Structure 1
Amino acid sequence: MNEQGGLIGVLAVVSYVVFTLLFMGVVRRLLGVRVSFLRTAVATLVAIWVSRPLLDALVGEPVLTVPSVELGLYLTLLGAFTFVVAMVLIVLAELLVPEGTLPGPFDAWRSWRARMTRSGRYVEILRIATRHGLGRFLRGRRHLALGTVAERRDLARSLRRALEDGGVTFVKLGQQLSTRNDLLPRELIDELVQLQDNAAPVDWEVVRGTIATETGRDPGEIFRELDPTPLAAASVAQVHAAVLHDGRKVVVKVQRPGIEHDVDRDLDIVARLATTLEGRTDWGHDVGLVDLADGFSAALREELDFTIERDNMLGVAAALDGREGIVVPTPVRGLSGPRVLVMDRLPGLPVGSAQEVLAALGPQRRAALARTLLETVMDQLLESGIFHVDLHPGNVLVADDGTLSMLDLGSVGRLGAKTRQAMGHFLAAVGTGDSMAATDALLELVERPEDIDERNLEQALGVLILRYAAGGSAEGAAAFTSLFALINSFHLGVPPEVAAVFRAMATLEGTLRAIDPSYDLVTEAKGMGRERMAGLTGAARLKETLEQEVSGLLPVLRRFPRRVDRIADAVEHGRLTANVRLFADPRDRQIVTHLVHRTLLTVLGATAGMMSVVLFSVTGGPMVTGTVNLYTVLATALFVVAVILVLRVLIIIFRREEP
């Protein structure tokens, strides 16, 4: 007896599950949109549980022991009522808690773990900020005690030290912010440019293991000599001197272990902070903090992949082919991977610490070196399109013979042909003082808002050009700051690749001054811009451009006479017509189709509802049972149809999805 009861219970559960799955499929089909399995299952179970008591309260419970027409009508009405209740529950759930706003169980678990990790990092960041005296600025108040230059410098010094203690992500963030003269005051910029990306060296055995893992070979099989003491140790990687078995002197750049996890965690914090500030502050929205954070994240993640730096070195070297006096390292093929990079060891010292070498070269040679470096960057910006974005004094070596070397190409910028042309036009227009042409070129470089006063922009840019027309070795930073302020005041969006150009030029100025303190970046850049644009429009270049254009137009020119003859013949015989296809774009047809579908659903639902009301009010007529007539059955069916159609329209509206 117990076994029979257990079997009946199992069959009941199985039938209940099958019945629930059937209901779920029908409900999702009637709604016309995809609803999550969990939400549909819960709505269906609740509907099955509450439908019969509700229906019994409305129409009364029939005698279920005797098969009859009344029992059949009751069961049919119960099924329809259950469908309607399930759909109503889903629509209400969509109205109160839209689909996707609540994570699933696995997503919730991952989110909880990530939140706990971020919370620990938040506490650590707050501890660092408090240790450096920045805690009072985290309370959300406006501080009036920063009105003097000395107070702002103290704040900038504390911020720099806090960023250095924050780790690689915040050091890199501070270095990027140091180029944004349009966002930060001068005191902050002066401190942030001094950020030092130093870190304690990694244990040699860990470095050796990383090299073996990435190359698949023991370091002793690759290098004849490998110095365990690093030449430099930064928060991303450290560099060791080595010699290959063929006598080639190289350096080995090894990424610090676990750095990717730390960077991902901190970049997530930066992105969340940028989203919050852009949503809650006017200045955050104006400068586009989310886009800035996204660009910073992409650049930093590129820097963590040494294969990108390897490819960048090859690309920049190809662009420098034929230029004397400046080189980039050559990577060793087969020994470089995502976390280990082996490249030539170039002679020389960083410009920032090579004053004795520069002094020995003499003033004329130093001016020539500065011009070589600027010409190289201008060629990269206006011709090759691939350029070094971070040529600070530590990334440029100068040898005893005056040869310059560009290092650390983990992050480079790339410009398309149109952007390069607009950049050249802008520099050439600034060089000639043509504010109208400079305005047109600037608007091609930036993302212009829908409403912009071009006349005022042209006047403001003209004043800026006149202000810095004379140039001067001390005017470069002020010119870039004024240009940034102008762009920001007219709410012009700066694309990431153009922002990288401004960053590169602002960073390059400090390096040029370290090479030659009297070098005039503004004047030289304007002159080089004019020279290059003149070269692009010279006779030889115009001939080449004309040949390219004609070769592209040749197929069109060949077909042109025949097409003109056909048009003339059609005009002569009165057969010329013009056909215009309405809604030729599939997107237009889709929009109209969806609008018509929604309108039809709404009209049909309203019509069925009104017909059901009319039929409910009709008395008499053919009787289906002793108490229910045919009109009541039809009215009930129409009412169910009306409810289903209206609910389908509502769910589409709430979900903002197309049926």
Structure 2
Amino acid sequence: MKKNILVDSLRSVARMGETAVVAAKAGYKYATVKPSNAKLMRETFEELGSTYIKLGQFIASTPSLFPREFVEEFQGCLDQTPKLPFSYIEEVLQQEFADRNLHDIFASIEEIPLASASIAQVHAAKLVSGEDVVIKVQKPGVETILYTDLNVLHWATKVLEKVVPKVKFASLADIVEEIKTRMVREVDFIEEAQNIDDFVEYLNVTQNRAATAPKVYHQYSTRRVLTMQRLYGVPLTDFDVVKHYAKDPSQVLITAMNTWFGSLMMCKSFHADLHAGNLMLLEDGRVGFIDFGIVGQLNPEVWTACMAFMDALQHTNYDAMAESMLKMGMTKTSVDTTVLAKDIERLFSGVILTDPQKILSSNPADLNDIMLDIVAIGERHGIHFPRDFALLFKQMLYFDRFMRVLAPYVDIYADQRLKMVQDVDVPLLKH
């Protein structure tokens, strides 16, 4: 125990030194090259690694808290990191299963990883009982680095608030606390395992046989190691490959979207990171949902209000859009919906003149701009959107990209097969 404490302390000291060096380099670059503030911050965050990459992604997905230029710049903050040698991964496995022999659990583990991100590395393996699995292994020192970085950030925000009193109005300390809450949840694989179990329960309760998620082997999982069933399939971004497994690629996408929309209404949390690597078409034709490390939480009422807003948008009913926006967010003051409706009308007038039916089919950059503008209007009227509203919209952008691959000539949002708001006739799993 004392050895572990000493190692963690040394890692913390080393991390603070590394952070100081990178910050000094950024300062020199700012003085000489003079890049934009947003670009310099993104490049610095990527060099600092896991915690700051996650912070950058938080900035990119939270337009209600950060300036537009930073939100747009951090859209490119990538989570892929260099692969670690298998010896490091093996060391973590031996630490987590110290009371057992690894050979009694795994018949084999592939040394070349399937994927490597800032927090964890994923390896294929086979259990001694014969099942093919994947092992998500937390990288050594990640949790120590996380807490060290967040403590430094918290200290820095406190100092900044004292030096620049106006900053207090930005609630920077509260933002750091929110980031800490999200990140700590992401490095706890026990919680991720629970997210998967909740989703599987939702599929079972709704008798959804068209989608699935990996089985979790809880007896071989810990806070730092997650062992799951290996699903075999292809990502939904290669039309030719998808066509090989499914006669109608658009139906595959609709199945994925209906399953996800249903989870918004019924699950304790929703999958908030369904990019191409986390949504698969399996060999048996089912849609596979994987990697539940990043999830959001949303009241069914908020999602219903979102759908009402989109419906009002399609019918250019600005008064209804204003009313829906009030239900989507929280406000401490009374809002004049007539004035709000006028502001929304000014925002969308140029878009509507082209073709209102194409708004939801705009390219992701345009949709992101619309999202930022909606949030800005809401903020001006004292409306504060739920903290996971941005995660919700980010996922809609991901679906937009899938549409362009799997259904380029189909208006998915007008398709009768799509059920964005579903009748809840089974017990809710949220409680």
Give the alignment's TM-score, normalised by structure 1: 0.54
CA shift, 1:338, in A, is 0.4
Which among 316, 319, 326 is matched to residue 199 of structure 2?
316
Change over 3 Å in CA distance of 1:188–1:302 after alignment to 2: closer
Is the CA contact (8 Å cut-off) linking 1:307 and 1:337 kept in structure 2?
Answer: yes
Amino acid at match of 1:337: T
Q: Which residue of 2 aligns with 1:178?
A: 60
Q: Distance in 2 between matches of 1:336 and 1:519?
A: 42
How do residues 140-219 of structure 1 correspond to structure 2 at under 5 angstroms? 156=39, 159-181=41-63, 183-185=66-68, 189=72, 192-193=75-76, 195-204=78-87, 206-215=88-97, 216-219=99-102
Q: Which residue of 2 aligns with 1:335?
A: 220
Change over 3 Å in CA distance of 1:404–1:177 after alignment to 2: farther
Q: Deviations over 1:339-396 (max 9, x none)?
A: 11100111124445x455246568x833222222222222122343521111222222
Amino acid at match of 1:164: E
Q: Which residue of 2 aligns with 1:470?
A: 357
Change over 3 Å in CA distance of 1:283–1:491 after alignment to 2: farther
1:504 aligns with 2:431: no
- Structure with greater Cα Rg: 1
CA shift, 1:510, in A, is 3.8
Q: Distance in 1 between matches of 2:416 and 2:178?
A: 28
Is the CA contact (8 Å cut-off) linking 1:430 and 1:526 kept in structure 2?
Answer: no
Q: Distance in 2 between matches of 1:283 and 1:462?
A: 32
1:444 aligns with 2:327: yes
Q: Which residue of 1 aligns with 2:5?
A: none
Q: Distance in 2 between matches of 1:168 and 1:304?
A: 11
| Larger strand share, 1 or 2 | 2
Which among 106, 120, 124 is matched to residue 21 of structure 2?
124
Higher relative contact order (CA 8 A, sep 6+): 2
Is the CA contact (8 Å cut-off) linking 2:236 and 2:406 kept in structure 1?
Answer: yes
Segments of 5+ residues of structure 1 without an aligned counterpart are 1-112, 138-142, 147-151, 546-659
Q: Which residue of 2 aligns with 1:266?
A: 149
Q: Deviations over 1:152-196 (max 9, x none)?
A: 9xx63x554432221101111222222345645479636633514
What is the root-mean-square deviation of aligned Cα atoms in Å? 3.8
Is the CA contact (8 Å cut-off) linking 1:239 and 1:251 kept in structure 2?
Answer: yes
Amino acid at match of 2:292: L
Q: Deviations over 1:538-596 (max 9, x none)?
A: xxx7xx99xxxxxxxxxxxxxxxxxxxxxxxxxxxxxxxxxxxxxxxxxxxxxxxxxxx
CA shift, 1:217, in A, is 1.4
Which among 472, 488, 491 is matched to residue 379 of structure 2?
488
Q: Which residue of 2 aligns with 1:404?
A: 287
My pick for the range that moved more, 228-237 or 431-440, is: 431-440
Amino acid at match of 1:532: V
Is the CA contact (8 Å cut-off) linking 1:382 and 1:423 kept in structure 2?
Answer: no
Identical-pair percentage:
23
My pick for the range that moved more, 452-461 or 167-176, is: 452-461
CA shift, 1:319, in A, is 1.7
Change over 3 Å in CA distance of 1:345–1:115 after alignment to 2: closer
Amino acid at match of 2:94: A
| Larger helix share, 1 or 2 | 1
SS in 2 for 1:253: strand
1:455 aligns with 2:315: no
The count of residues paired between Structure 1 and Structure 2 equals 405
Q: Distance in 1 between matches of 2:122 and 2:12?
A: 35
Is the CA contact (8 Å cut-off) linking 1:208 and 1:219 kept in structure 2?
Answer: no
Amino acid at match of 2:218: R
CA shift, 1:306, in A, is 0.4
Q: Deviations over 1:126-161 (max 9, x none)?
A: 145258x34569xxxxx8x86xxxxx9xx63x5544
Is the CA contact (8 Å cut-off) linking 1:476 and 1:509 kept in structure 2?
Answer: no
1:299 aligns with 2:186: no
Which among 233, 254, 269 is matched to residue 137 of structure 2?
254
Q: Which residue of 2 aligns with 1:239?
A: 122
CA shift, 1:423, in A, is 4.1
Change over 3 Å in CA distance of 1:419–1:278 after alignment to 2: farther
CA shift, 1:238, in A, is 1.1
